[in-house]
Amino acid sequence: MGEFVRLEVDGGVGTIRLERPPMNALNKQVQEEIREAAREAARRDDVHSVVVYGGEKVFAAGADIKEMVDMSYVDMAARAVALSSSLTAVAEIPKPTVAALTGYALGGGFELALCCDRRVAGDNVKVGQPEILLGIIPGAGGTQRLARLVGPSKAKDIVYTGRFVDATEALAIGLVDEVVAPDDVYAAARTWAEKFVNGPARALAAAKAAIDGGLDGDLASGLKLESHLFAALFATEDQTTGMRSFIENGPGKATFSGK
């Protein structure tokens, strides 16, 4: 358990909780603690899905600018890859993940949210990539994951202007997937995550690998990846259980072991 980031596990759902008041600024220590929490969530068999949560008031308002302001090119060149990979560790969790967004999710904070499979936001949330206002660009996935999520034109508008996007617009353009009352954000995210607690874990991991891996290449390569992962699932207990249950009892009644 880190000083500012911890993994809590309850009922099969892991919550990666950020706690660095007042704004959960992502300094180097927080970045590395996110990496370790993500790796722990990935390897634990009692974690079936993951919620990333910054608390009731704020998700994360960005990187710690005070830590960066005096860094040189040489300093940042040595750090930039580690910064990006610390958040990518969340994207690499082979389980369903959801970000629960309250208050502000900006800069590195929104880049962290983009690493999740789904984003649930309070109706008062502000999201965005305001790095351009500091004379820089997003450096932990914002230019890449944002463009893949909403397309290059909308991504360029958000990155070029550095503007804050409110919940209504964020939902309309696909930056977030669900908007609820601020007090209901964690509960709504957890409700989604709980759907997978008794699911076919290997099939869910394969689905995530196929979708994410396919986006990195052309259609032909993606189809080959899908075929490989599809066939591999016929070596699992859950495939046998799921198909036999379908034949005997109809759809949606299988009890999976996750093996």
Lowest mean pLDDT among 65-69, 97-101, 195-199: 65-69
Whether residue 131 lies in the annotated active site: yes
**Contact present, 97 and 117 (Cβ < 8 Å):** yes
Q: Which residue among the candidates 32, 56, 67, 111 is catalytic per the annotation? A: 111
Lowest mean pLDDT among 12-21, 47-56, 71-80, 107-116: 71-80
Which position has the higher pLDDT, 120 or 64?
120
> Does 63 have pLDDT greater than 80?
yes
Whether residue 111 lies in the annotated active site: yes
Over the stretch 137-196, which tens digit does the pLDDT of each residue have?
999 999 999 999 999 999 999 999 999 999 999 999 999 999 999 999 999 999 999 999
Output the pLDDT for position 62. 86
> Does 209 have pLDDT greater than 80?
yes
Output the pLDDT for position 216. 86
Does residue 22 have a cis bond before it (omega within 30 degrees)? yes
Over the stretch 12-21, which tens digit does the pLDDT of each residue have?
999 999 999 9
Give pTM, 2 decimals: 0.95
Which position has the higher pLDDT, 51 or 71?
51
**Contact present, 204 and 184 (Cβ < 8 Å):** no
Q: Which residue among the candidates 3, 33, 131, 237 is catalytic per the annotation? A: 131
